[in-house]
Amino acid sequence: MSRPTDRGTRMARELEGHLGWLDSFTGAALGVLAVASGIYTYLGVSTLLDGDGAMKAFAAIAYSIAVSTGIFVFWSYMMRLFPAMRTAKSRTGLLGAMGLGSLAIIAMSSWLNAAALAGAAAVEQHLAVTVQSYQGTLERTNEIAISAQGLERDVARVRQSFEDLSEQEAAGTLSGMAGRGAVFRVLRQKSAELAGLETQIASQAPLVTSAFAEGNALLSRMRALTVEPGPVEARSVEFSEQAVQLAGLITQLRQLSVAPLVQRAAQDLAASVVLPELDGRTAEDRNDQSATISSVLEVLQQRAETLERAAAEVIAIPPPPESTYTPISAADAVILYARNFIPSWAGAIAIDLLPGVLVLIVAITQGLIREGREGAAIEDTMTIAELRAALHAARDVDRAYFASPPPTPFGPAGAAPPDPVPPSAPPAAEPVSSPLASETDTEDKPSS
């Protein structure tokens, strides 16, 4: 029945054999991963550099070579040193160093790899988000302008009320004096002012409609640029031009709102009344006209306040946020919209940090090998080659010992040295009963 120590020793030998075979191509695998990361790093860094020529290509190549070299050297160090650590303190220290190195690799390589993998898609995402922002701003601005155009009905209602009062005054039902006297002229004066304001508001309606239609046309072109085939850099330039035109159009549409105009007209409606001369024949008639005009002015003040409140409600509508398009590079777009490109980020990081998993695998395997060899006797852990080397070393030591002369004893000072004693013959070496020793002796004897 085999002992647990024997099973651990066999497992350790088996794992050592596997590690020896895996180590034969681990360096080449690390080199392939480092070169692949360097290629994608080159593609990513080339989008950040300005200019177009040999200097840009040289700078990008130099950076990518430095990144590949750093990744290969770093993981080679970790692959050799981390599994050899046996204390918790040393492993914790190297684990912290591996964490810092991984962060450095992500900072100098992984985000550029992600830019190479999904940079164009991230820029298109930025264009799409910008289109949505401009569309919301345009629609909100148009709603405010349309709400301001709705004040035309309020102005028309006030104007119609003054026209009706003027007709009543002409028939003599207000002041009791039929005709077109002082009261009639006051009512007609205000109805004429409101009619002019109503005409001005109506003239803005086609401009609002035209601006909104033009804005939608620009948005359609911008939306098409986000999905058109071809280099995204060229599309971004045209997109920027369309965005500038749309921003100016939104500003123009905001200025077409008539709410401030109606508010100022309502404030002036009651304050700017030109009172005509009373034309009553008698003092009683003039008193009646004066009382009627006072009542008309009160009604005018009420109508003006109502109209001003309606305009203030439109002005109080919160304006839409300003929309601006900021061109960004592919690397910046990948960071800005990282949530939308998690698979690309995962692939970019995995190609750089996958050797870390190999380091942990080797460390665990080395730990199992050391655990399997604990408590095992030396004869259980020695290989055939090690045993042969030990036997050869022991034989060499014996030969060197018996071939050296014996030490010469010295007596007291001034005494004659004793007579030399012939050295006794060395004892014959005991024969080795091990089959391995016989095998070794056979190899040492010259063939006949």
Biggest CA pair distance of the chain:
179
Q: Which residue has the higher pLDDT, 428 or 147?
A: 147
Comparing 16-30, 123-137, 296-310, 373-387, the range with the smallest average pLDDT is 373-387
Q: Which residue has the higher pLDDT, 153 or 370?
A: 153
Q: What is the pLDDT of residue 270?
A: 65
d(CA 131, CA 220): 9
Angle among Cα 313, 316, 320 to the nearest 5 degrees reads 130
Q: What is the pLDDT of residue 1?
A: 45
Give me the chain's average pLDDT, please: 78
Q: What is the pLDDT of residue 219?
A: 92
d(CA 358, CA 85): 16
Q: What is the pLDDT of residue 27?
A: 86
Q: What is the pLDDT of residue 212?
A: 92
Q: Where are the alpha helices (DSSP H) in 176-282?
A: 182-225, 232-255, 259-271
Q: What is the pLDDT of residue 400?
A: 81
User: Could you tell me the CA-to-CA distances from 227 to 136, 243, 334 in Å, in that order?
Assistant: 20, 16, 18
Q: Where are the alpha helices (DSSP H) in 338-445?
A: 342-373, 378-381, 384-403, 435-444
d(CA 202, CA 245): 26
- pTM to 2 decimals? 0.66
Q: What is the pLDDT of residue 203?
A: 87
Comparing 176-185, 200-209, 318-327, 422-431, the range with the smallest average pLDDT is 422-431
Is 431 a residue whose pLDDT tops 50?
no
Comparing 57-66, 226-235, 375-384, the range with the smallest average pLDDT is 375-384
Among 422, 429, 421, which residue's Cα sits nearest to residue 397?
429
d(CA 302, CA 187): 14
Among 257, 52, 32, which residue's Cα sits nearest to residue 143?
257
Model confidence band, residue 440 (pLDDT cutoffs 50, 70, 90):
very low
Tens digit of each residue's pLDDT (9 = 90 or more) over 166-217: 776 676 665 555 555 666 677 777 788 888 888 888 888 899 999 999 999 9
Q: Judge contact between 418 and 409, C-beta under 8 A.
A: yes
**Chain centroid to CA 177: how far?**
80
Q: Which residue has the higher pLDDT, 379 or 144?
A: 144
Tokens of 221: 């072109």
Comparing 211-215, 378-382, 394-398, 416-420, the range with the smallest average pLDDT is 416-420
Tokens of 364: 């665990």
Q: Judge contact between 363 and 80, C-beta under 8 A.
A: no
Q: Which residue has the higher pLDDT, 431 or 383?
A: 383
Q: How much of the chain, in percent, has pLDDT values that exceed 90?
A: 19
Domain extents for the chain?
A: 4-120+340-373, 122-329
The Cβ of residue 163 has, within 10 Å, a number of other Cβ atoms equal to: 17
Comparing 21-25, 101-105, 257-261, the range with the smallest average pLDDT is 21-25
CATH of domain 122-329: 1.20.1260
Torsion sign (Cα): 102, 104, 107, 110: negative
Is 445 a residue whose pLDDT tops 70?
no
Q: What is the pLDDT of residue 140?
A: 92
Is 45 a residue whose pLDDT tops 90?
no
Tokens of 297: 């002015």
**Chain centroid to CA 201: how far?**
48
Tokens of 190: 């205000």
Tens digit of each residue's pLDDT (9 = 90 or more) over 237-281: 999 999 999 999 999 998 888 888 888 888 777 665 545 555 555
Q: What is the pLDDT of residue 44?
A: 85
